Amino acid sequence: MSQSEADLLKIRREDVIWIDLFGPTGEEKRATEDFLGTMIQNRAQAEEIESSSRFTETEKAIFANTNFLMPGPDEYTMETVSFTIVDNILTTLRDFPLRSFTELQRKMMAMPRLFHNGFWVFLSILDQRVDLDADMIELMSKEISQYSKRVNQQEDINEEFLLDINQLQENTMFVRENIVDKQRLITNIIKSDKLPQELEPRFNVLQQDIASLISHTNFGFERLEYLQDTVVGLINLEQNHIMKIFTLVSLLLMPPTLVASFYGMNVSLPLMNSRWAWVIILAVMLLSIVGVVFIFKKRKML
């Protein structure tokens, strides 16, 4: 559990299975390093490590770094958590609160016999994290279904709707990247000789769960791409319909405009001196409109 500098000086190594460094000071970090007999990576070092080298192992310790997804009102962010396992003691380094850590600490206080060493705590953290990721994926699937329903009902299909789908795609990619990061970490842990054999089946099950989540996120992303293409198609159809109306109105007004232009010239034309000239000209204009409509309908262009 979380310890202070004074507590570390009073307890024995065999009585410790987890040290949680939450926003530690320099003195707290150095005291923990002295207690473990090894260095602990700080946040800057953990973030600079390439994804292919986020797991390292020495004769004495295991160092691992992984990202934890933080949901926000509009988009997700990722925060790095560092894990260090020395002599079956797990040390976590983080700078932000995590619900999975809080729930696990409560569970350890209630049922301490379930956690034999730091590897058991590490497994529980990853297990709870994967469960939370699964919950987020389920919520995103429901959100995708709502978008799909709106598309089927052609409800508020506009550019803003398209941007919302694009943001959901970004969130889906964040979730998938986060899950793949966990998959790499678990694969490396399983390969380690320091992993207790009784935990290997549990890590294998966790890896299978992650594989299913990856498949689910891939399916969700494909649905979003389909929705995006559908929305773009509907917007194009609506724009084409508007252009069709404008074109039709322009074509309908062209013959009457031509007639009006002829009789608007300052020259002598037939019927200009007739009392009913304006009636005849208006009738010709209306007939030209009716003729254009008839031709368009006959060619099934209306």
For 167-207, how does the pLDDT look when each residue is reduced to its tens digit (9 = 90+)? 888 888 888 888 988 998 999 999 998 999 999 999 999 99
Task: Examine the pLDDT at 262 and tell me if it is beyond 80.
Answer: no
Q: Do residues 161 and 109 touch, judged by C-beta distance below 8 A?
A: no
Distance, in Å, from the CA atom of 70 to the CA atom of 96, rounded to the nearest integer, reads 10
Q: What is the pLDDT of residue 125?
A: 92
In the β-sheet with 55-57, what is the strand arrangement from edge to edge?
18-22, 89-94, 76-86, 61-71, 55-57
Top-tier CATH class for 5-237: alpha beta
- DSSP of the chain: ----HHHHHHS-GGG-SEEEEES--HHHHHHHHHHHTS----HHHHHHS-GGGSEEE-SSEEEEEEEEEEE-SS-EEEEEEEEEEETTEEEEEESS--HHHHHHHHHHHH-GGG--SHHHHHHHHHHHHHHHHHHHHHHHHHHHHHHHHHHHTT-S-SHHHHHHHHHHHHHHHHHHHHHHHHHHHHHHHHH-TTS-GGGHHHHHHHHHHHHHHHHHHHHHHHHHHHHHHHHHHHHHHHHHHHHHHHHHHHHHHHHHHHHHHHHTSSS--TTTTSTTHHHHHHHHHHHHHHHHHHHHHHTT--
Distance, in Å, from the CA atom of 126 to the CA atom of 112, rounded to the nearest integer, reads 18
Q: What is the pLDDT of residue 44?
A: 61
Higher pLDDT, 210 or 257: 210
Record the tokens describing residue 95, joined without a space. Answer: 């700078």
Distance, in Å, from the CA atom of 174 to the CA atom of 180, rounded to the nearest integer, reads 10
Q: Please, which residues have CB within 8 angstroms of residue 144's CB and are 6 or more apart in sequence?
A: 168, 220, 223, 224, 227
Distance, in Å, from the CA atom of 64 to the CA atom of 119, rounded to the nearest integer, reads 12
Higher pLDDT, 265 or 183: 183
Q: Which of 131-145, 256-270, 282-296 has the lowest mean pLDDT?
A: 256-270
Task: Examine the pLDDT at 96 and tell me if it is beyond 90.
Answer: no
* Long-range contacts of residues 287-290, Cβ cutoff 8 Å, at least 24 apart: 288/255, 288/256, 288/258, 288/259, 289/252, 289/253, 289/255, 289/256
Record the tokens describing residue 60, joined without a space. Answer: 């004495």
Q: Taking residues 152-177, what's their average pLDDT?
A: 82
Task: Examine the pLDDT at 38 and tell me if it is beyond 60.
Answer: yes
Q: What is the pLDDT of residue 1?
A: 45
Identify the bridge partners of residue 22 per DSSP, sorted by sequence position: 94
Task: Examine the pLDDT at 42 and tell me if it is beyond 90.
Answer: no
Q: What is the pLDDT of residue 6?
A: 62
Identify the bridge partners of residue 61 per DSSP, sorted by sequence position: 86
Distance, in Å, from the CA atom of 232 to the CA atom of 77, rounded to the nearest integer, reads 28
Q: Taking residues 56-83, what's their average pLDDT?
A: 83
Distance, in Å, from the CA atom of 278 to the CA atom of 264, rounded to the nearest integer, reads 12
Q: Taking residues 83-101, what's their average pLDDT?
A: 89
